[in-house]
Amino acid sequence: MTRVFVYGTLKRGGENHHWIDSQRFVGVTRTKPVYRMFDLGGYPGMVKAENGLAIEGELWDVDPPGLAKLDVLEDVAGGEYERVPIELESGEAEGYLYLRSVAGCRDCGSSW
Protein backbone atom coordinates (compact mmCIF):
# COMPACT_ATOMS: atom_id res chain seq x y z
CA MET A 1 0.00 0.00 0.00
CA THR A 2 1.09 3.52 -0.77
CA ARG A 3 -0.15 6.47 1.26
CA VAL A 4 -1.45 9.10 -1.19
CA PHE A 5 -2.39 12.75 -0.58
CA VAL A 6 -5.29 14.00 -2.76
CA TYR A 7 -6.43 17.62 -2.90
CA GLY A 8 -8.98 18.04 -5.69
CA THR A 9 -11.61 16.04 -7.55
CA LEU A 10 -10.44 12.75 -5.98
CA LYS A 11 -11.54 13.84 -2.49
CA ARG A 12 -14.76 12.46 -1.02
CA GLY A 13 -17.64 14.15 -2.81
CA GLY A 14 -15.47 15.09 -5.80
CA GLU A 15 -16.40 14.18 -9.36
CA ASN A 16 -13.45 11.77 -9.71
CA HIS A 17 -13.79 10.19 -6.27
CA HIS A 18 -14.97 6.93 -7.86
CA TRP A 19 -11.35 6.40 -9.03
CA ILE A 20 -10.27 6.00 -5.38
CA ASP A 21 -13.39 5.06 -3.40
CA SER A 22 -12.45 1.34 -3.23
CA GLN A 23 -9.23 2.26 -1.39
CA ARG A 24 -8.83 2.92 2.36
CA PHE A 25 -9.53 6.46 3.61
CA VAL A 26 -7.02 7.43 6.31
CA GLY A 27 -8.10 10.96 7.20
CA VAL A 28 -7.89 14.65 6.41
CA THR A 29 -4.58 16.49 6.51
CA ARG A 30 -2.69 19.50 5.20
CA THR A 31 0.63 19.97 3.49
CA LYS A 32 3.43 22.06 4.85
CA PRO A 33 3.11 25.62 3.46
CA VAL A 34 5.33 24.99 0.43
CA TYR A 35 2.70 24.55 -2.32
CA ARG A 36 0.16 26.60 -4.30
CA MET A 37 -2.97 25.24 -5.96
CA PHE A 38 -4.37 26.60 -9.24
CA ASP A 39 -7.68 26.19 -11.08
CA LEU A 40 -6.90 24.45 -14.37
CA GLY A 41 -10.48 24.61 -15.64
CA GLY A 42 -12.59 22.17 -13.63
CA TYR A 43 -9.80 20.58 -11.64
CA PRO A 44 -6.83 21.84 -9.61
CA GLY A 45 -3.10 21.52 -10.02
CA MET A 46 -0.70 21.80 -7.10
CA VAL A 47 2.82 23.15 -7.61
CA LYS A 48 5.77 23.70 -5.29
CA ALA A 49 6.09 27.41 -4.45
CA GLU A 50 8.34 29.65 -2.33
CA ASN A 51 5.28 31.64 -1.18
CA GLY A 52 3.30 28.49 -0.48
CA LEU A 53 0.22 27.70 1.54
CA ALA A 54 -0.81 24.65 3.55
CA ILE A 55 -3.06 22.80 1.08
CA GLU A 56 -6.00 20.90 2.57
CA GLY A 57 -6.64 17.36 1.40
CA GLU A 58 -7.13 13.73 2.28
CA LEU A 59 -4.88 10.74 2.86
CA TRP A 60 -5.65 7.38 1.30
CA ASP A 61 -3.91 4.00 1.41
CA VAL A 62 -3.87 2.87 -2.21
CA ASP A 63 -2.98 -0.60 -3.48
CA PRO A 64 -0.70 -1.07 -6.55
CA PRO A 65 -3.57 -1.54 -9.08
CA GLY A 66 -5.30 1.56 -7.67
CA LEU A 67 -2.09 3.55 -7.90
CA ALA A 68 -1.67 2.52 -11.55
CA LYS A 69 -5.23 3.77 -12.24
CA LEU A 70 -4.51 7.10 -10.55
CA ASP A 71 -1.34 7.52 -12.63
CA VAL A 72 -3.51 7.12 -15.76
CA LEU A 73 -6.11 9.62 -14.52
CA GLU A 74 -3.38 12.15 -13.68
CA ASP A 75 -1.66 11.59 -17.07
CA VAL A 76 1.71 10.84 -15.51
CA ALA A 77 2.95 9.22 -18.75
CA GLY A 78 1.83 12.28 -20.74
CA GLY A 79 3.67 14.69 -18.46
CA GLU A 80 0.71 16.57 -16.95
CA TYR A 81 1.38 15.46 -13.36
CA GLU A 82 4.19 13.70 -11.55
CA ARG A 83 3.71 11.46 -8.51
CA VAL A 84 6.25 12.60 -5.92
CA PRO A 85 6.73 12.74 -2.15
CA ILE A 86 4.50 15.47 -0.67
CA GLU A 87 5.51 17.27 2.54
CA LEU A 88 2.66 17.04 5.04
CA GLU A 89 2.27 18.66 8.45
CA SER A 90 2.19 15.13 9.87
CA GLY A 91 4.89 13.47 7.77
CA GLU A 92 5.00 12.53 4.12
CA ALA A 93 2.89 10.80 1.47
CA GLU A 94 2.96 10.54 -2.28
CA GLY A 95 0.86 12.91 -4.34
CA TYR A 96 0.54 14.55 -7.72
CA LEU A 97 2.29 17.81 -8.63
CA TYR A 98 1.24 19.65 -11.77
CA LEU A 99 4.10 19.96 -14.28
CA ARG A 100 2.80 22.44 -16.85
CA SER A 101 2.63 26.24 -16.68
CA VAL A 102 0.10 27.81 -14.32
CA ALA A 103 0.57 31.28 -15.85
CA GLY A 104 -2.83 32.96 -16.08
CA CYS A 105 -4.55 30.34 -13.90
CA ARG A 106 -6.58 31.40 -10.87
CA ASP A 107 -4.99 30.68 -7.49
CA CYS A 108 -7.37 28.45 -5.47
CA GLY A 109 -6.00 29.24 -2.04
CA SER A 110 -5.71 26.32 0.39
CA SER A 111 -8.80 24.28 -0.55
CA TRP A 112 -10.50 23.03 -3.72
What CATH number is associated with residue 25? 3.10.490.10
Q: DSSP E strands: which ranges in 24-90? A: 24-30, 35-39, 44-48, 56-62, 81-88
> What mean pLDDT comes out for the span 30-52?
96
The overall average pLDDT reported for the chain is 97
Q: Is 82 known to be catalytic?
A: no
Predicted confidence (pLDDT) per residue in 6-27, tens digit: 999 999 999 999 999 999 999 9
Catalytic position from the list 50, 74, 89, 92 = 74
Residues 6+ apart with CB under 8 A from 75: 81
The domain total for the chain is 1
**84: in domain:** yes
**27: in domain:** yes
Q: What is the pLDDT of residue 14?
A: 96
pTM: 0.94
- Structural domain of 34: 2-103
61 neighbors 74 (Cβ within 8 angstroms)? no
**43: in domain:** yes
**49: in domain:** yes
**109: in domain:** no
Q: What is the pLDDT of residue 93?
A: 97
Q: What is the pLDDT of residue 47?
A: 98
**67: in domain:** yes
- Per cent of the chain over pLDDT 90 is 98
